[in-house]
A = this chain, B = another copy of it.
Amino acid sequence: MSPSQPRDRGIPEATVARLPLYLRALHGMAERGVATVSSEDLAVAAGVNSAKLRKDLSHLGSYGTRGVGYDVEYLVYQISRELGLTQDWAVAIVGVGNLGRALANYGGFVSRGFRVAALVDADPEVVGDTIAGLNVEHIDELEAVIKRRGVSIVVLATPAAAAQEVCDRVIAVGVTSILNFAPVVLSVPDTVDVRKVDLSIELQILAFHEQRKAGGPLMAVDSQ
């Protein structure tokens, strides 16, 4: 048994979901010239419990120094590597409407490893337009574009009715990572990862809690 296992295969899903949060906090610290950070400080910056943070980081390896903390630069590198951000990911956005346009114009994810490599739409009015420096291509070209540009992540921003069909087509040409904004449950083989962003669901969850707050503690009036 070697004394240091560089990294453990099989990082808990909950940990993976928090690594980007730590990374963001660390980037901020690096910019402010912070060289070293304790789990306590980093935890505060990321809005989590410090024990949880340490356990999360321990899944990547033993990168801290007891009595001191973590080296910011080094930790940024280790987390980036673990998340696969040391390589470049080509992203295609399918559906260039309100939302697709906002995403295409957004500089925030280009910054870290993600590059919008293609825009695809079905509307002849939109196809051929240049948005954020990219030509919008026709949906008929979907498969060709994905192969030509080496796209490995597809962002779905079409209307709900078109989402499953586009999804099936991109999977057929080998895409296994999809970010879905359309309010539908996509049916995919379990070799494919789908993450969804659903604004409407978030609002409904907020409304639920808001209702409880408004009526809750005092509204002991049972409706029976």
Contact = CB atoms under 8 A, between A and B. Distances in A.
B101 A200 contact: no
Interface residues of A, number: 66
Task: Report how many copies the assembly holds.
Answer: 2
Contact of A201 (B9, B20, B98, B201): B20
A38 to B, nearest CB: 17
A142 interface: no
Nearest to A152: B210
Contacts of A108: 183, 199-200
A193 interface: yes
A198 B47 CA distance: 15
Contact of A176 (B23, B195, B213): B213
Given A179-B202, A203-B179, A208 B106 contact: no
A88 to B, nearest CB: 10
A153 to B, nearest CB: 6
A7 B125 CA distance: 51
B98 A199 contact: no
A76 to B, nearest CB: 13
B84 A210 contact: yes
Interface string A183-224: 101010001010101111111111111110100100000111
A1 to B, nearest CB: 13
Interface stretch (A65-73, A109-117, A133-141): A109-117
A2 B224 CA distance: 10
A17 B205 contact: yes
Interface in A68-118: 82-85, 87, 89, 91, 98-99, 101-103, 105-106, 108-109, 112-114
